Structures are given as C-alpha cells and as structure tokens.
Chains A and B, each alone.
Chain A
Amino acid sequence: MIFRTLQISIQEIKVLFADRQALAILFLMPVLLILFLSLALTDIYHQKVGRHFQVVLLAHSKKIPEILHAKMKGYGYEILVDSAESQSIEEYVQLHDPEVVLELPQDLEALLEKRKDSVSTEKIKISFRPNLDQSYQDLIKAQLTLIFQSMVIDRVNEEILGSSDLGPGDPSAGKSVALRSFDHQTQLFEVVGKTKVLPNPLQQTVPAWSLFAMFFIVIPLSNSFIRDRKLGMFKRLLGYNVSKGELILGKVAPYIVINCLQLFAMYGVGRFVMPWLTDRGFVVHGDLGPLLIVTLVSSLAATSFGLLIASWARTAEQATSLGPLLVVIMALTGGVMIPHFVMPQFMQKLAHLSPLYWGLESYFDVFLYHTPVKAMLYNIAFLFGFALITFLLAIYRFRWNDDDGG
C-alpha cells in the first residue's frame, strides 16, 4: 500500500512542479503579500500597538524646551526642537510634514521662565499630520494641556514656596508635597485584569498570509482531481489494484507537505528578510512542536476544503473561480486581511465562522502567547472540526469519473 501511495504522491509532486504558475501562487504570492502588507499596515498597527509620537517643538528660547522635554518624555513622546524664530509653524509643516508640531507663544515662554507674571490670550499652535487618528489628536492635546498646566502650577508653587535649589530640568523642581506624587498621568492608574497582547504587523501578516496561501492550495489540488477525473486517470489507476483510499491519500499528501513548506518559507521571510526592510522583526516565542501541530491541522483543513471543491465542481473553471472566492471571503472574515482586533464587534463574532480565524488564533497561541498545547486544543478543535466536516462532505460527493454510461 505504502509503495503505491508514495508513487502517486511523487507523481503528483512532479506534475505540480511542472506547473510554474501554481508554484508562484503557492509561494511567491504570500511572500509578496507579507512584504507589502507588513509595510503598508505599519501605520495602522502603530495606531493600535505601542504607539510613540514624535513631536516637534518650535520655541523662541532654549530653556522652555528643556523643561518641556523632561515632562513630555514621561508621556513617551519623542521630542525634536527647532527654532520658531526662523520659521512659522505653517512653513515648518509645509517643509517637513511632521506628525505633531507645536509652536509656543513668546508670552507663555516668558511666564514659565519667570520673565513675566501674566500671559496674553495668544494660544499654543499645534498641527497634526492629517492621517493621525482623531482620538490620538485629542489624547495629545489633553496630555499637553496637563503638562502645561503642571508647568504653570510649578511656577505658582515656586512663587509660594520660594525659590528652589533644584534646577528647572529636575522633575521635582518647584513642586508642592501634594503634587510630587502626580508626576504624570500613568502613575495615577494601575491596570488590572487580563490584557491581550496584540501582534505587531509581522506577527499578524506572517501567519495570516501563510494560512491564506495554505488555503490557496485549493486551486492546484482541485484542478488536479478534476483533471484526473476528466482524463480517466482514476479509472486507470484503480485498475492497478490501488484502493480509493490510497489514491486520495497519495494525491493529497503532497499538498500537506507543500503547506508545511509554505509555512516555513513564510516564517523564514518574516524572521530573516523582513527585519532588513522594517524596524520590527518577526518575534516568535513558540516551540516547534505546537507549530507543527497547528500547521498540520491547518493543512488538513485546507486540503479537505480543496477536496470538497474538487468533488463539487464539474470543471476546472468552476473550481478556480469558486475556490479562491471562498478562500478570500473566509480570509476577509477570519482576520487575515483586516486584523480581528480592529474589526467591529459584529464582525469579530462573524469571524468565528471562518476556519482561517481558528487557524490564525492557533498561530497566535504559538507565536505570541506561548500557550501550552493543552490550552491550544480549543482553537485546534474547531479547525479540525472544519477539516473533518469538509472531508466527509467531499467523500460523500466525490465522483471518480464523469461518465453517465456509454
């Protein structure tokens, strides 16, 4: 049995490798998708995960930016300082396209430097890059308000408590005892309960597009079955004392191997190629064992789905139009194209219908959360359930030839 199954598998690989277009779809397409989408989605992910803002301060004196620098650093801002004397904020925006830029009024600087006791109504000018999320714009404005208010309070405290020995850059300078505990906002809160680690762009795109590519096996797999049925190959092979089970196994097994190769090729691209192109690498915390289990079950789901399309479709044209369409829909709902965590709640629930969602969650279990295999079984069981149902449906509908008599 093993000998004939192996021969059929080898033959299937030979035929597949003679088809360069199919190989391009299976290997080149996901590499390009990972490459371009990781780069294209970087901003979207930065909006959600570990966001750091770069703020340009246009100031008239050097002293104020130093104080601001110290305070804003506490909020995680990256500060660049430029002179407001040589250019207006409008000119600066036009020339440099900064993410956030502030121009301080001279009056405010004078007040904070104790050169003046009152401030005019001139406001702090701020400009945001147009694609910056509105919620972040509001957050930055609120945080800056807090910073400036605290600076004014410091100034008032200094007036009340007398001059301090500490320099202006020192965070403790000029603070009342009560205010010393309020260094910055984050100290006010302690986050409790579970927080979910969100993937970075590569941690999302590598497993997501690998899964997508694995399911795209539907094209060569279904075409192979339909071609063999049309050519009468099954009739011929069954005549060689090959059982139907051996025949299906022999034809499907190479695609499972190819699925594994796809995953490891994409993993290699994420791990070794992408760090050259992006500032983030494909950080993986998982072991090889769970990775193999998830890949194997994902592959069973993908190949069973391919088999179902092969058994349903009468022609290769039907299979190549319906199969990829369904894969794209499953990928769209399953969080491959649009990350699950940015979807609205309804779509997040709908995602549970897609096998790619369960596959992706299983990969996150491996790559991100370092989940033990036992805890991964929930996601894997859904994926395996999909594989089993599609396989049984495929076998139920399977036709070994197109003859209706003759």
Chain B
Amino acid sequence: MQRSVSLCALALASLLIVCALLSLVLGAMNLPVYDSLLIVVDKLFGANLSQLEDYQQIVVLELRLPRLLLAVFVGAILAQCGAVVQGLFRNPLADPGIIGVSSGAAVGAIVAIVVFPAVWGSWTIPTMAFVGGLLTTLLVYGLAQSKSGTSVLILLLAGVAISAFAGAAIGFLSYFADDASLRELNVWQMGSLTGANDANLWLAFTTMVLLMIAFQRRAQALNALLLGEPEARHLGVDVEQLKLQMIILTAVGVGVAVSCSGIIGFVGLVVPHLVRLATGPNHHFLLPLSALLGAVLLMCSDLLARLVVQPAELPVGLVTVLLGAPFFLILLIQQRKNWS
C-alpha cells in the first residue's frame, strides 16, 4: 500500500511538471520552446537567458503562467473538497458541483457582481461566493439527513433544484446586467481561467495551502467517519464539530474556486474516485493525491480548452463537464444495484 502511494505520488508529480511545461509552450501564438521556458527561469532568478521579444514575454509570463498556476490551485482545491464531501456524505456521487454548492456559490458571486459590485472591494465576490456556497451546503446537508444516514436520492435532487434555481437567478440577473457584467456572468456560468491575476492567484494559493493543512489534520477522523457516525463517535471523534468544520472548509474552498474561475464541474467527482481506485479510501493519502491529480486534470483541461478551437478558446468548465459527465453516468450505473 505504502509503495503504491509513493508510486502514484511520483507519477502525478512528474505529470504535473510535464503538463506545466506544455501549458507554457503551447498556445495560439507559436513561440520558441526553449525561450518560453527560459523566460520563467529568468523571471525567477533574475537571469537573462531568454531571447523572447517583449510581447512574447507578456504572453508567457502574464497570460500562460498565471493561468496554469490558477489551474493548479483551483484544481487542487476542487479535488480535495470533492474528496471531503464524498467522505462526509459517505457517498462517491457527492461532488460540490452535483449537489449544488458550486451553483450556490456562483449565485452569491453574481449577486455581488450585479447588485453591489464593490462593497468590500475585491473581497466582495469571494465573500459572497463563500456565503452562497455555505448556505447551499447546509441546506443540502440538512435535507439529505435521515435516520438511516444520508439519502443519495435527496442529495442529487436537491442538487438539481439548486442548480435550476441558480440558473434562473443568473438569467434573471443577466437581464438587468450591463454589458461588462454580462461577460463576467458568462464566465461564471461556464467556468474559465482567463481571469487569473495576482490577487486571485494569491487568494487561491493561500486557500489551497490552508485547506491541505486543515484537511490533513482531520484525515484520521474522516477515516473514522466512513465507519458511520455513531462508530466515529465511539472512537472519540467529535462528529458534530468535524462535520461543521468540513462543511465550512469546503464552502470556503468552493467559494474561492468559484470566485476565481466560475463553476468548474466534475473535478471534485472524478479525481477522488480515480485516486481511490489506485490507493483506497484512506484520507491520509486520498487528500494529497487528489490535490495533485486535480491540479493535473484542470491544467490538461485548460490546455485542451485553449488548443482545440485555436485561435479562439472554449471555457474550461465545458471541457471538464464533457470529460466528467460520462464518468458520472458510469458511476451511476455501477451504483444502481445498491439503490433499490
């Protein structure tokens, strides 16, 4: 077990580096490969090795690099949140996107854009996204709790209802929005990493690190929770506190992710599932490996989004949905026998 975990970690880390290099080099504008990489070295160490023109440097340093970093941070956040939500609900079909948390966060963000754009400055959108995400998580969790545990049916239906409501709210608000807001609304609905800038990179990076630490500290308790709530309580876990912590942390994670890049679905569903296939459900390994694979997956998706319809590009959220939705269907079919 220990060995397969190390192998996975190594493979994913290498993949992460390869994808990052590809993301720097490939794109609508053809740039010399070596120089594109060297310019990052120049930037980091103050050297002067690259021979890129100024406008080419801007493409690499101010467009491609921030975007790939945002993909890494948001992918890692979403995948970890997915793993935690699945553990919390004890169900592999739970995902912040599917159960409506991302939609709730998006509604919060959109209310912030359209209704009161700058009450708390640049914190308005992330804060409102967090509030929206938190309220929906609490709502869904409250609805899905029953005596015999969490009801998957209600979980998924609540997700449908909330997503529909969010869709309507977005439509309603876009009716009143001006042109600039309208463009932003589109980004929120479909998910895109084009908005990467220093502010949201720092926000996403800090959130990713904080979540990694906080989740890892509760990994054993999350493992115990998989046995069932009474069993976890008998093992000395403060179950109510754990659940509340995890709900708030995932709402923070999803809120930040949504405020940086809009709704990017299915990363939180697919990634933990794949990691579990390789290393089992132990959260000590599941959480860090999910973060790694989430980063890789979102970076690849964004690369695809940039490359397939050059020189235009797809919203990355579309790509993850195209990859994730069939996966979700397969999971549903596998689970079907446990339902009736």
Partners in one complex: no
**Measuring CB to CB, which residues of chain B are less than 8 angstroms from any residue of chain A?**
none
**Measuring CB to CB, which residues of chain A are less than 8 angstroms from any residue of chain B?**
none
